[in-house]
Structure 1
């Protein structure tokens, strides 16, 4: 976790949100510090309390790259008693709606095709609107602003981080997040007409 927080001021909004959930009693301490001092306070607390906190929550993340290999954002997954919260923060994507799905293989090569299809062990139909769906990898659409930035918070009960009764994101061959060029209509097979893959991230333990 410490390696991700290179500079507290530039650390993502959703990254801070997740970390404050892990350290609820430290947010005031960190917020009162400035610049690199905030980073120092946070790092020290992580070193001291890392062991008990690691047991408190299952969290994974995926660094999102575009088709040129440039990092454009991050997706974070937080296990809760009722399902998984998904925090998305990306930039540099076309304005408008984009399908975003969870794919069955933790790979982004080549051209993001190695990520395979959706997580879907029961072979359900694709689509949040489909009476024979959805599959485990389906999520609501991500919407980018005119400047190409997008923030979202989703919730899903169809996966888990490590496999608590639902398919695990961190299973033997891993999983990936794929962002598509078009919005998902939540009905058309196999991906809701979402088009090409413009972003990919390999989901890894945090």
Structure 2
């Protein structure tokens, strides 16, 4: 009887220790997952000040990291009514009046421009925004091709930053290098 009781005691102790060990591992895994999730959700939004060709304030854009990419909320003014191309550009410099200092479209994957181009798109391509009759445009855009996580090839917060540029005309989503979207009329630097 004592042997049986002793065997059951050892077996019970083994099961309890095993269960405790697996609970601790699950707790650790849960903590690691929640830490990763919270660090993603804790990243602060980046506010971009848009300026016109005279260097005057012409709106803002708020960039926020999401699980599926970067959310872009744009509020712009001083535009002609209608659609306007908007893109991320490779340099975090916006020198008036023509913003050539912003460089080409952000294009870390070396593709051609346009969502409808079989050889595209650039990682910097975004959907058009539309200005109303008063020249104001609001847009909620999403880019799954860029990130705000530093150290990644496609990070908008790369060393030197990048820029958000609004063009004079609509982007046709297919013509390389800029979708026939015309002059650069608003620009904002994207930096941490």
Deviates more, 1:154-163 or 1:177-186: 154-163
C-alpha distance in 2 between matches for 1:75 and 1:169: 13
Q: CA deviation at 1:204?
A: 2.6
1:105 maps to 91
* Separation of aligned partners in 1, 2:128 and 2:57: 20
Unaligned residue ranges in structure 2 (runs of 5+): 1-37
2 CA distance for matches of 1:67 and 1:95? 17
Match of 1:193 in 2: 180
TM (norm. structure 1) is 0.70
Aligned residue number for residue 65 of structure 1: 51
Over alpha carbons, which structure has the higher Rg? 2
RMSD: 1.9
Q: What TM-score do the two structures reach when normalised by structure 2?
A: 0.75
The 8 Å contact of residues 158 and 166 in structure 1, kept in 2 or not, is answered as no
Give the 3 Å change call, closer, same or farther, for CA 58–188 of structure 1 in structure 2. Answer: same
Pick one of 139, 143, 159 that aligns with 1:156.
143
Deviations, residues 84-137 of structure 1 (Å, cap 9, x unaligned): 111000111111010000001000114211100011012101001111111100
Within 2, Cα distance between the matches of 1:65 and 1:123? 28
Structure 1: how far apart are the matches of 2:155 and 2:113? Answer: 19
Aligned with residue 126 of structure 1, among 113, 116, 121: 113
Aligned to 1:95: 81
Count of paired positions: 154
